Structure 1
C-alpha cells in the first residue's frame, strides 16, 4: 500500500485543502497519516477523519522582532528531530505540505530522509514557511497565475486549491433552522477566519442596526470572540467555529463578508457566493491577502474594502451594493477558468510516487 504523510497547520487554511484530498487518495489506495502541532487547530480538524495524527513541537517563524524569536528556533529544531523520527518509522512514499510553521521541520526532515515532497502555496507570494521548504520540494502547487513568476519554473504547477466536496452539498433549510432564521430576509454570512478577525467583527457589529433592517446575519467570529451582549439579538447568530454544518450555512447564505485568505476565497469561488472581501491590512500582515483580494476583484469575483478606511456606514453601503448586483458576480465566477484541483494534485502525487518507486 502507498503511504502519504500530510502536514500543515496554524490556521484552517493550512488544513482544509489537505482534508479535501483525503477521499480521492483513499480511493487510490493510499494509507494516510498527518503530522501537526500538539494542540493546533489542525489536530481538532483532523480528528473526525480517523487519520493517524502525530504531534510535534513547533515554533513560529517571524519576519519581525518578538521575544519568542529567541526560544522558537529551539522548538523548530526539536520538531525537526521529532518529525524525522516519525518519518523514519512510517517510511512514507511522499509528503504533502500545505504550509504553516509546523510544516518546516516535517518537510526538511523528509528531504534529509530522501522522501519526495510536494508543497501547496495558496497565496500569490510564498509565505516564509513555504519559502524555506521550496528548495527541497519536488513540486510546488499554486492558486494564482501571478504566483508562477515567484517560483522555480521547473517546480511550479498551477493547480488551484482543493475544495472539500461536502461544501457543495449543503442544505439551505437546515442552515436556516440552525440559526433560527426565516426565508423573509436574505442572509449575510460573515467569516472572520478560523482564528477570528477582530477588525471585521467590530465593523460588522457596529453596522448591525442598519444591516438587520434588510438582512439576517450569521457570524463565524472565531474562538472566544462571541459578544455575549448580542446573544439575544433577533436575526443575528454567532458561532465561534463551524465544522460539519458549514456546508448548510454556505447553502443558506446569499452573500458573504470574508477576509481574503486564499483558501477561503477559493471556496467562495467554487460555491459561486458573491462576496465582500476585507483583507488583513498591510501593517498587520505581509500583504498577501491584499494581493489575493485584488486578483479576485480584477476578475470580477469580489468587492474589496480596505479595513483601515471602512466604517459601519460604508460597510453597510457596500453590503447593499453587493446584494443588489450579486448576479454579475455569480456570472463572473461561473465563467471562471479556475477549477477544483483535486484531480490535478492527486495525479501529481501519483506521478511523483511512481518516479520514486
Structure 2
C-alpha cells in the first residue's frame, strides 16, 4: 500500500490545501497520516477525518519579536523533530507533503533524516519563515504565485497556481439563504476575518452596521468568542466560523470583505466574488498579505484598504465602490488563469513518491 504523510497547521490556511488533497489519495487507496500539534486548528480540521491517522507532536512558535517563550520553544522544536523522526521511521511514508506553519518544521526535518522526499506548498508570494527553514530539506516547492520562483533555490519551484477545495465550487445560494434566514432582495455582503477573526475589521463593520444594512444583508464570520448577540437582526447574522455551510454561504455572497491570506483570496477568485481586501499590517505580520493584496489589485481583482486607513467611513466608501464596479471586477476575474492546481499538485506528489521508490 502506498503511504503519504501530511503536515501543516497553526491556522486554517495551513490546513485547507491538505484537506483538498486528502480525498484524492483516499480514492486511490493510499494510507494517510497527518502530523500536527496537540491543540492547533489542524487537529480540529484533520484529526476527525475518517481514514486519516492523526499524530500530535511538540511544536514551538518561531517568533520575530522578543518573548520569553523564545527561550523555551527551540527545545520544543527539537523534541518535535525527535518525535517526528521516530514516527516517520515507523510509518515509512513514501512522501511527505507540507503546507507550512510552525508545526511543519520538525516534521520536515524528521522526514529528511529518514530520507523521505518532501514537497512543500507555499501559498503566499514570498515564503513564510517556516517554509524558508524547510526549503533546504525539500525536494520541491509548489507555488501559487509565479513571482515566488525568484525567492526559491534554482530548480525547486513548481508553479501550480491556487489549490481550491472542490466542495467550495458546489455551493448553493438558496441553501445559504436558508442557513442564514435571509429572504431574497438585498445583496449579501460576507465578512471574513480569518479563522481567529480580526478585531479591527469586526470593530469597523459593527461601527458601520446601521449604514451597511440599509443596502446589504451581512454574514459576519467574526472568530471565536467574538459574537455579540445584541447586534443580531434579520439583516445581520454572526457566526464564530462556518465549516460545512461555507460553500453555500459563499455561493450566496455578492461581495466579500476579507484579510488577504492567499488560500482565501484565490478561493474568492475561483468563485468570481468581488472582494475588498484588508491585509494584516507590517506591525502584525511579515507583510505577506500586503504583497498578496497588491498582486490582486494590480490584476484588477479587488479593492484594497490598508488597516492603518480602516475606519467605519473608509469601509463604507470602499464597499460602495466595490459594489458599483462589481461587474468590472468579475470580468477581470473571468480572464484569470484557470489551471487545475489541485490536479497538478496531486500528480507532482505521486511522481515524487514514485521516483523515491525507484531509487
2: CA distance, partners of 1:338 / 1:124: 18
- Is the 1:3–1:30 Cα contact (8 Å) retained in structure 2? yes
Q: Structure 1, residues 234-270: CA drift from partner, whole Å, max 9, x if none?
A: 3111111111110010011001000000111111111
Q: 1:335 and 2:339 equivalent?
A: no
**Which residue does the alignment assign to 1:295?**
295
1:213 shift after superposition: 0.4
2: CA distance, partners of 1:30 / 1:161: 24
**Which residue does the alignment assign to 1:70?**
71
2: CA distance, partners of 1:340 / 1:250: 20
Q: 1:269 and 2:269 equivalent?
A: yes
1:72 shift after superposition: 1.0
2: CA distance, partners of 1:111 / 1:153: 19
- Is the 1:17–1:161 Cα contact (8 Å) retained in structure 2? no
Structure 2 length as normaliser, TM-score?
0.97
Q: 1:4 and 2:4 equivalent?
A: yes
Q: Structure 1, residues 109-130: CA drift from partner, whole Å, max 9, x if none?
A: 1000100000001111111100
2: CA distance, partners of 1:147 / 1:26: 30
2: CA distance, partners of 1:161 / 1:96: 16
Structure 1 length as normaliser, TM-score?
0.98
Q: Structure 1, residues 284-331: CA drift from partner, whole Å, max 9, x if none?
A: 110000000000000111111111112101111111111121111111
**Which residue does the alignment assign to 1:325?**
325
Range moving further from structure 2, 25-34 or 121-130: 25-34
1: CA distance, partners of 2:41 / 2:339: 27
| Superposition CA RMSD, Å | 1.1
1: CA distance, partners of 2:339 / 2:222: 28
**Which residue does the alignment assign to 1:154?**
155
2: CA distance, partners of 1:34 / 1:304: 36
1:226 shift after superposition: 1.2
Q: 1:167 and 2:168 equivalent?
A: yes
Q: How many residues were matched structurally? A: 356
Cα distance change on mapping 1:338 and 1:71 into 2, 3 Å: farther
**Which residue does the alignment assign to 1:286?**
286
Range moving further from structure 2, 159-168 or 338-347: 338-347
SS at match of 2:303: strand
1: CA distance, partners of 2:21 / 2:103: 19
2: CA distance, partners of 1:186 / 1:253: 7
Range moving further from structure 2, 27-36 or 302-311: 27-36
**Which residue does the alignment assign to 2:17?**
17
1:91 shift after superposition: 0.4
Q: 1:44 and 2:39 equivalent?
A: no
1: CA distance, partners of 2:347 / 2:153: 20
Q: 1:58 and 2:84 equivalent?
A: no
SS at match of 1:49: coil
1:338 shift after superposition: 5.0
**Which residue does the alignment assign to 1:351?**
351
**Which residue does the alignment assign to 2:211?**
210
Q: Structure 1, residues 61-85: CA drift from partner, whole Å, max 9, x if none?
A: 0121111101111111111111112
- Is the 1:119–1:134 Cα contact (8 Å) retained in structure 2? yes
- Is the 1:270–1:340 Cα contact (8 Å) retained in structure 2? no
Alignment of 1:131-210 (within 5 A): 131-210=132-211
1: CA distance, partners of 2:233 / 2:189: 15
- Is the 1:220–1:241 Cα contact (8 Å) retained in structure 2? yes
